[in-house]
């Protein structure tokens, strides 16, 4: 079943923070986060495995709460280059296919 | 990160022709590759899972005779859109998971934009 992402869209000014959430109705093994720019393929950001871990990637980090079956992506001090659509992909068991959310469109303005 | 290439990046064809799209994992072996279709401003819709040395697994509603998949080696999968029609116009993206590091990150190719006239 497709995970639910929120918000659907967010507009920021450069330097502001944002949080994107990804919720599943099923227990998850892992959550994968991607950013896609217009006309391009999704780019892998990070993967979080069950165990409640948190990961960081420059000023982009994420957490995974397996009890709540949700993950959050944190973008701090946003840059213009952060603009794009963010997708979460959820994995039910190790090695199973990913199911992607509808995406969150992030726009960072000067 | 691992690299997945896809060719061609863009193709325009006449209705009724067949189009072949290649997907290669450049620095890792992939026993499984995935083919997605994406409409403008929409999510990634999984079409099929390509399995090396065996038949592909198609998602419900995807015509296997129209979208032929071949996974002849551990680094190459091909998608052939047979007798393409305008409604097949879309952005097709392949991906592969790299389990070399243990966790199985999934990397996407650059995509192929198909326009059927």
Chain A residues touching B34 at Cβ < 8 A:
97-98
**Segment B70-103, tens digit of pLDDT:** 998 999 999 999 999 999 999 999 999 888 877 7
Lowest mean pLDDT among A1-5, A94-98, B25-29, B75-79: A94-98
Tokens found for residue B87: 């409604």
- DSSP three-state, residue B39: coil
Q: What is the pLDDT of residue B75?
A: 92
The rounded Cα A3 to chain-centroid distance in angstroms is 11
Q: What is the pLDDT of residue B31?
A: 86
Which residues of B lie closer than 8 Å to A, measured between beta carbons? 1, 6, 34, 41-44, 46, 49, 93, 99, 103-111, 113
Chain A residues touching B103 at Cβ < 8 A:
30, 47, 49
Residue in chain B nearest A35 by alpha carbon:
B108
Residue in chain A nearest B39 by alpha carbon:
A39
Rounded to an integer, the average pLDDT of A30-44 is 93
Interface test with B, best of A5, A41, A47, A98 (most B CBs within 10 A): A41
**Pick from A41, A89, A98: CB nearest B110:** A41
Q: Do A41 and B111 touch (CB under 8 A)?
A: yes
Q: What is the pLDDT of residue B87?
A: 95
CB of B64 closer than 8 Å to CB of A8: no
Rounded to an integer, the average pLDDT of A41-60 is 80
Is the pLDDT at A59 greater than 70, yes or no?
Answer: yes
Model confidence band, residue A68 (pLDDT cutoffs 50, 70, 90): confident
**Segment B15-60, tens digit of pLDDT:** 999 999 999 999 888 889 999 999 988 899 999 999 888 899 999 9
3-state secondary structure A30-43: EEEEEEECCCCCCE
Q: Rounded distance, CA B47 to CA A10, Å?
A: 29
Tokens 């190459």 sit on residue: B76
Model confidence band, residue A6 (pLDDT cutoffs 50, 70, 90): very high
Q: What is the pLDDT of residue A107?
A: 97
Is the pLDDT at B2 greater than 80, yes or no?
Answer: no
Is the pLDDT at A56 greater than 80, yes or no?
Answer: no
Q: What is the pLDDT of residue A82?
A: 96
Q: B40: which residues sit within 8 A by CB, 6+ positions away?
A: none
């Amino acid at each position: 079943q497709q995970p639910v992402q929120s918000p659907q869209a967010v507009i920021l000014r450069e330097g502001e923070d944002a949080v994107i959430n990804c919720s599943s109705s099923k227990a998850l093994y892992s959550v994968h986060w991607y950013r896609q720019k217009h006309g391009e393929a999704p780019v892998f950001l990070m993967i979080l495995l069950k165990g409640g871990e948190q990961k960081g990637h420059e000023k982009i980090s994420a957490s995974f709460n397996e009890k709540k079956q949700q993950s959050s992506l944190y973008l701090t001090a946003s840059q213009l280059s952060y603009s794009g659509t963010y997708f979460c992909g959820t994995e039910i068991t190790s090695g199973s296919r990913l199911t992607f959310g509808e995406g969150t469109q992030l726009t960072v303005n000067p | 990160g691992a690299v997945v290439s896809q060719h061609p990046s863009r193709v325009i064809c006449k209705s009724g022709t067949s189009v072949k799209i290649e997907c290669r994992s450049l620095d890792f072996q992939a026993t499984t590759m995935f083919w997605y279709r994406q409409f403008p401003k929409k999510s990634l819709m999984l079409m099929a899972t390509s399995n090396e040395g065996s038949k592909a697994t198609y998602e419900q509603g995807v015509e296997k005779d129209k979208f032929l998949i071949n996974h002849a080696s551990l680094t190459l999968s091909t998608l052939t859109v047979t007798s393409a029609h305008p409604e097949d116009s879309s952005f097709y993206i392949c991906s592969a998971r790299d389990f070399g590091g243990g966790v199985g990150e999934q990397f996407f190719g650059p995509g192929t934009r198909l326009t059927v006239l």
